[in-house]
Chain A
Amino acid sequence: MSAPVVEARGLGKVFGTGEAETEALRGIDLEIAEGDFVSLIGPSGCGKSTLLRLIGDLVSPTTGTLVVNGKEPRQSRLDRDYGIVFQSATLLDWRSVQKNVELPLEIMDFPDAERPTRAREMLDLVQLAGFADHHPWQLSGGMQQRVAIARALAFRPALLLMDEPFGALDEMTREAMQQEVLRVWGETGTSVVFVTHSIPEAVFLSTRVVVMSPRPGRISDEIMVDLPPKRDLDTREDPRYFELVIEVREALRRGESGSSGS
């Protein structure tokens, strides 16, 4: 079981051709082990989303190799190895909260009897059991994002991909959601790749922070987060937490100046 969940070697992505060419990523080497919680952090436009979408086979690499769950990314997607959460919840208005969570189960032909049970379990997990029959527009932004997480986890994927899932939320909701995600991660044992541009968020959540730099997007640093596995309010006041926040900030700054120099 020691095979990495994600293994990228010399991964590169170029969008467009000729004049309109954008080199979004270059020479990405990344390994994510089972059970890891890895954050990708970097300035806007450095290719965080692109890297996540490469892992999810939503775009294809231009160069290099990528193995997800021991397979080609495409095969991994077809095998439904991962669940994904975007910045916007992307819930379907015409479905109730419960039916939104059941969507992947319907597509994957789960037995009729199993779908509602699963969906309810997931809604319990994100503490929305009382809202199963509501419609998405009746929920707050934070609640909608929790439904999206429940939906992504409903079929128990080995890997959870999250692209700035809390970017649109206010600070209080955001902290509550971070706690929520950690709890879910602890209970499901899923590996997580989490895109963010918030340094405290990356440090608080992750086992490892991957720092990226722009033009073209590269990995400029990796920082192991050696905080105790149980993260709570105390963590945010732990001196080591502050040290790590500073470390990540400095790594980001180095990455930016490094890229303009080269």
Chain B
Amino acid sequence: MTERDDQIQETSITDVFASFEGDVPASGRRSSPARLVRRYLPAVFAFLAVLLVWEGLTRLFGVESFVLSKPSEILNSFSETSGLIWGAGMRTLFEAAGGFVIGTSLAVATSLAAAHWVGFRQGVLPLAIVLNATPIAALAPIFNNWFGLTNPFSKMAVVAVVVYFPVMINTTRGLLEVDPAELELMRSLAASPSEVTRRIRIPRALPYFFSSLKVASVLSLIAAIIAEYFGGPQDVLGQYIVNRAQLFQFPDAWAAILVASILGVVFYLLILAAERWLMPWHVSFRTSE
């Protein structure tokens, strides 16, 4: 229970996101509106600049819409088809969120078991790391077959499997990567293994858990849309995008992609908010007083 030599490999994508989080302002909890503006203004400008250049170049060179639609066309479609694409977006989000909850729950259960039983950890973790390297979206046709093409659960299953690995691997790592001095302190207090898990391992694992959740939130939408490409109900983002593209209605397809990315960002921000609420003590959120 106290062995901690296990070096569990973290997925590289998590590192990328972790470094991105380093950007979070240290004074996060009490940012004034003025600070927020100052902080995000460059990003807003960059975003607008990209749109302008995009619009300008496509106009200048007369790029056809099926090659690259103009932002103005996309925005036009975005407002005209808003009922349709937001409806599709909500159904896709339902699949993504359902799969996210299932995958995360299973991952946390596995992690707790892995932290508790050395044998379990030694048997299961290498297997998990191997499976993690499998392109999981390839499972979509199989799940369609298992659970039924029109059953949203077949999409949730794909999402759950995609979400499962990064969350499980990172959370397990967090549960095991505990300061030996803290374990010694708990031993001196004759604390039971479950006390150690509750009072040391879980709080210590929270930062790892949340950083994997942020990755998983984005992955879950990607996985849901890819799963939808493999067939199923038509009123979801994946199928909508495929259908509009086949009809050469590319601005519509782009508008649906825009909905997907807005949903992805909102999902991500929700996790970020939950993280701050649950671990206000964490280094990256500390206020200097």
Contact = CB atoms under 8 A, between A and B. Distances in A.
Note whether A and B form a binding pair. Answer: yes
B131 interface: no
Interface residues of A, number: 23
A86 B181 CA distance: 8
A56 interface: yes
Nearest to A83: B188
B203 A137 contact: no
Contacts of A82: 188
B184 interface: yes
A126 B234 CA distance: 69
Contact of B181 (A90, A94, A104, A107): A90
Nearest to B179: A90
B281 A135 contact: yes
A128 interface: no
B39 interface: no
Interface string A92-112: 111000000001101110000
Contacts of A104: 189
B59 interface: no
Interface in B184-235: 184-191, 195, 199-200, 203
Contacts of B185: 84, 86, 90
Interface string B263-289: 000000000000000010111001001
A94 B199 CA distance: 10
Nearest to A88: B181
B237 to A, nearest CB: 39
Contacts of B188: 56, 58, 77, 82-84
B64 to A, nearest CB: 57
A183 interface: no
B199 A107 contact: yes
A72 to B, nearest CB: 13
Interface residues of B, number: 21
State the majority secondary structure of interface residues on B.
helix
A86 B282 CA distance: 23
B199 to A, nearest CB: 7
Given A92-B200, A94-B203, A103-B199, A58 B190 contact: no
A199 B179 CA distance: 31
Given A58-B184, A94-B281, A107 B179 contact: no
B182 interface: yes
A80 interface: yes
Contacts of A103: 189, 199
Contacts of B190: 77-80, 107
A138 interface: yes
Contact of B184 (A78, A86, A106): A86
Interface string B167-192: 00000000000010110111111110
Residue of B189, B279, B283 most packed against chain A (CB within 10 A): B189
Contact of B195 (A93, A94, A107): A107
Contacts of A92: 182, 199-200, 203
Interface in B55-112: none
B195 to A, nearest CB: 6
Nearest to B195: A107
Nearest to A152: B188
A80 B185 CA distance: 12
A72 B221 CA distance: 58
B76 to A, nearest CB: 50
Nearest to B202: A94
A124 B254 CA distance: 65
A82 B186 CA distance: 13
Given A80-B190, A104-B189, A135-B281, A90 B199 contact: no
Query: Which are the 7 A-B pairs with shortest beta-carbon distances?
Result: A94-B281, A90-B181, A84-B188, A107-B191, A94-B203, A78-B190, A107-B189
Interface of B: 179, 181-182, 184-191, 195, 199-200, 203, 279, 281-283, 286, 289
